[in-house]
Amino acid sequence: MPRPARLPGDDRQCPRCKSHFRAEEIRRNQFVCAACDHHFPIGARERLDNMADGGVWTEIGGELRATDPLRFVDLQPYPDRLRSAEAKGNTEAIVCAELALDGQRCVAAVMDFGFLGGSMGSVVGERFAKAADHAVARGIPLISITSSGGARMQEGVLALMQMAKTIVSLDELHDAGLPFIVVLTHPTTGGVWASFASLGDVTYAEPGALIAFSGPRVIEQTTREKLPEDFGLSERQLVHGHVDAVVDRRQLAARLGRLLAILEQPPREAPQSLATQLAQNGTERAASMARALPQLSRRLRDRVMGEQSQTRRPGDRW
Amino acid sequence: MGPRRGPRFVRRIADRLTHAEVEGGDSWEAIQLARHQDRPYPLDYISRLMPDFEEIHGDRLQGDDAAIVAGIGRYHGRPIAVIGHQKGRDAQDRAFRNFGMPGPEGYRKGMRLMELAAKMEMPLITLIDTPGAFPGANAEENGQGGAIARSMLTMLRLPAPTVAVVIGEGSSGGALALGVADRVVMLENATYSVISPEGAAAILWRDAGKAKLAAAAFKPTAANCYRWGIADAVVPEPEGGAHTDPDEAARLLDGYLSRTLRELGALPIPERRRIRRERFRRIGAHRELPPDSATLMSQGADRTG
Ligand SMILES: [Zn+2]
């Protein structure tokens, strides 16, 4: 999908219908084109501000920052890439938070394509794990809104392993009996799609999002296949059975809130106090013993008589 | 955000590259050895470690993927499940095995076997050797991403001991799909990386010819992976590499596997699963800011406008 053109100032042009928008206009519409519904990229923090009830959310794992374990250099040293990404206002490619959606408490792990292409490195893995831990501790569902080019190359095999790390978190949610909801946004590819993003209990996708393990360019180069125009896009993924619904960003918070309301467990019956339970158990046991008493005494007598009639030799083992 | 090109920047790049040369100089050599065409593949190890082996075929949905071999064998007197990436040796065989690049049907075949391993509480050994999962339109539409993810989850939940052995090149999620085990070990000349050096060169350097440079930057050798906690052990190969003496390579692997499976078998199931989860939960390299500096961006409500 072509990137939206940046106009002078903060004004933007829609890549699909070419309409012009003032920065403020498009922000008010949650970065969706008012003319053709094209979904522009949106930062994780801005998305949380828009979605959370009252715009209130509390970040989880915000203290985590990347390191440079491989001392990696491609066209630019990794620390320089990190610094220029941070200068754009976020601290990593995922922001996790506890919030309420239409009154439903949940934890959301929201990815940010603007931070190094939403790539998953050690911090993304650890923040995701902390978000899942928090969801388990609080007994509330986990939602993940994904947007990623895949594993963060600059952290090498350590980045690859973050895929497995997210799977561990899903296993913990499974054991805690908590739902995991995924919202796929443009683009969700590579190691993110091949790990937690494709294991949602319910999976939504924003319109026109590219969802793929291998991107179209890699596929065309490797196999010389000519791919259809809509390859890997949400609407096609719906047809192929890989997502449950395509949901407009402006309806997303309400739709998720409704889903969480459906999934909400009825409150458990208030547990009896231990003392009441013991007292009740005690009474019941006494009653059943009294009922069994005549039979019991007969069995006891038989056993004693039987034992007496047996001849026992010294040294016999019991 | 173009790269700054001041003299300091250039010197720093040069410093780093020299560093990478020193530490990653053996990377390209390791990659060549890991890909050596005579290097033993899973079926070569299987025939030496478990003479009675029953291979299963097909995912009961789509077809049979020859890039993955899966089956059951007897190993030191008990049943065991084995899954591996299988490359081909000559041109015809290579095409038949799709160069060891599985599609979703391959991972689903593997999961069929994992289900049996779960039912019978049978140990699982995986033998990893792939340049990555196959990038194709069909593979995508048949659920490549989901198959890899589900394979990891299924493997993570297995009750009996699991050992993943990187026997050649372990590249990308296509390798890790079979890598979520109690113990992850690498043969001496095996490599494990987020992407093949050619793929990285095309993406990061925008020049597929820079594969050597990419290999040096990723440092995917067994020694480095051991240092980072990715590999729990490095299994020695015969002098000159596994291809010089496959019998000896299999014997060395057998020594490690039989000992490790015994060791892991001594643990109760919940304990083994807990330790397995923790093993992967721990992996990563991040730092934590002191609590007060982190409050800077931690609340959404104050930041509206
Ligand atoms: Zn438009």
Note which residues in 247-276 of chain B have CB less than 8 A from chain A.
Answer: none
Contact B149 A194 (CB under 8 A): yes
Query: Which of B8, B111, B128, B152 should be substituted to probe chain A, the one whose Cβ sees the most A Cβ atoms within 10 Å?
Result: B152
Q: What is the DSSP annotation of B126-193?
A: EEEEES-S---HHHHHTTHHHHHHHHHHHHHT-SS-EEEEEEEEEEHHHHHTT--SSEEEEETT-EEE
Residues B21-36: tens digit of each pLDDT: 334 557 888 899 999 9
Q: How far apart are CA B108 and CA B147, in angstroms?
A: 6
Task: Tell me the C-alpha to C-alpha distance, in Å, between residue A151 and each of A213, B130, B135.
Answer: 11, 17, 16
Alpha helices in A179-273 (DSSP H): 190-193, 216-223, 234-239, 249-263
CB atoms within 10 A of CB A216: 19
Instruction: Render the burial of B262-275: b for 16+ CB within 10 Å, e for the rest.
Output: eebeeeeeeebbee
Residue A278, pLDDT above cutoff 70: no
Longest dimension (CA), chain B: 70
C-alpha closest to that of B253 among B49, B70, B39, B30: B49
Looking at residue A8, its pLDDT comes to 54
More confident residue, A304 or B201: B201
Residue of B nearest to A99 (CA): B300
Whether the CB-CB separation of A103 and A56 falls below 8 Å is answered with no
Whether the CB-CB separation of B256 and B233 falls below 8 Å is answered with yes
Report, as ranges of residue numbers, the positions in chain B whose pLDDT lies below 70: 1-25, 292-305
Residues A87-106: tens digit of each pLDDT: 999 999 999 999 999 999 99
Query: Which of B17, B22, B283 should be substituted to probe chain A, the one whose Cβ sees the most A Cβ atoms within 10 Å?
Result: B283
SS3 content of chain B, % helix, strand, coil (to 5): 50, 15, 30
> In terms of C-beta distances under 8 Å and separation of at least 24 residues, what long-range contacts does A304-307 make, across chains too?
none
Whether the CB-CB separation of B178 and B155 falls below 8 Å is answered with yes
pTM confidence score: 0.87
Alpha helices in A33-72 (DSSP H): 44-51
All structural domains of chain A, each given as residue ranges with its CATH number in brackets, are: 41-263 (3.90.226.10)
Q: Is B299 within 8 Å of chain A by CB?
A: yes
Residue type, B197: P
Looking at residue A266, its pLDDT comes to 87
Looking at residue A268, its pLDDT comes to 75
- Give the count of Cβ contacts less than 8 A between chain A and B: 232
Q: Is B184 within 8 Å of chain A by CB?
A: no
Candidate from A76, A168, A222 with C-beta closest to B280: A168
Mean pLDDT of A22-27: 92
- The CATH class for the domain spanning B8-280 reads alpha beta
What does the mean pLDDT of chain A come to? Answer: 89
Mean pLDDT of A184-193: 98
Parse chain B into domains and list their residue ranges. 8-280
Mean pLDDT of A235-252: 98
Looking at residue B202, its pLDDT comes to 87
Q: What are the structure tokens assigned to A39, written together?
A: 């979904």
Say if strands B183-187 and B162-171 run parallel, antiparallel, or are unpaired.
parallel
Q: Who surrounds ion ligand 1 at CB < 5 A?
A: A 14, 16-17, 33, 35-36, 38
How large is the ipTM?
A: 0.89
Residue A126, pLDDT above cutoff 90: yes
More confident residue, A126 or A279: A126
